Structure 1
Amino acid sequence: PGGALLILFGLLGAAAAWVLQTEIGETLAAQACFPHRTPLAAPQWSWLMPVLNVISVVALLVGVAGAWISWRSWRVSRDAHPDPVAAISDTAPGRTRFLAMAGLILSLLFVVGLVATGLAVVLVSPCSTWR
Structure 2
Amino acid sequence: MIISETISAQSCYPGRAPRAAPLLTHLHAWLYGISAVAVLISMTCVALATYGFVFLRNKRKQIKAAREDGTAPEQPSRDEEQVARKRFIAVCSVLIGCAFLVGLVFSIFAEVFLISCNQWR
TM-score strictly above 0.5: yes
Q: For residues 68 and 87 of structure 1, do their structure 2 counterparts lie closer, same or farther at Cα, with a shift above 3 Å needed?
A: closer
Higher CA-based Rg:
2
What TM-score comes out, normalization by structure 2 length? 0.78
Question: Aligned-pair RMSD on alpha carbons?
Answer: 2.2
Q: Tell me how far apart the structure 2 counterparts of residues 108 and 85 of structure 1 sit (CA, whole Å).
A: 32
Tell me how far apart the structure 2 counterparts of residues 36 and 87 of structure 1 sit (CA, whole Å): 59
Aligned-pair CA distance for 1:129: 1.5
| TM-score normalised over the length of structure 1 | 0.73
1:104 aligns with 2:76: no
2:22 pairs with one of 43, 47, 51: 43
1:120 partner amino acid:
A
Q: 1 CA distance for matches of 2:101 and 2:79?
A: 37
**Pick from 48, 59, 76: which aligns with 1:69?**
48
Percent sequence identity is 32
Who is 2:67 aligned against?
A: none
Listed as ranges, the gaps of 5+ residues in structure 1 are 1-20
The count of aligned residue pairs is: 108
Structure 2 residue 102 is matched with structure 1 residue 123 = no
Superposed displacement of residue 88, structure 1: 8.8
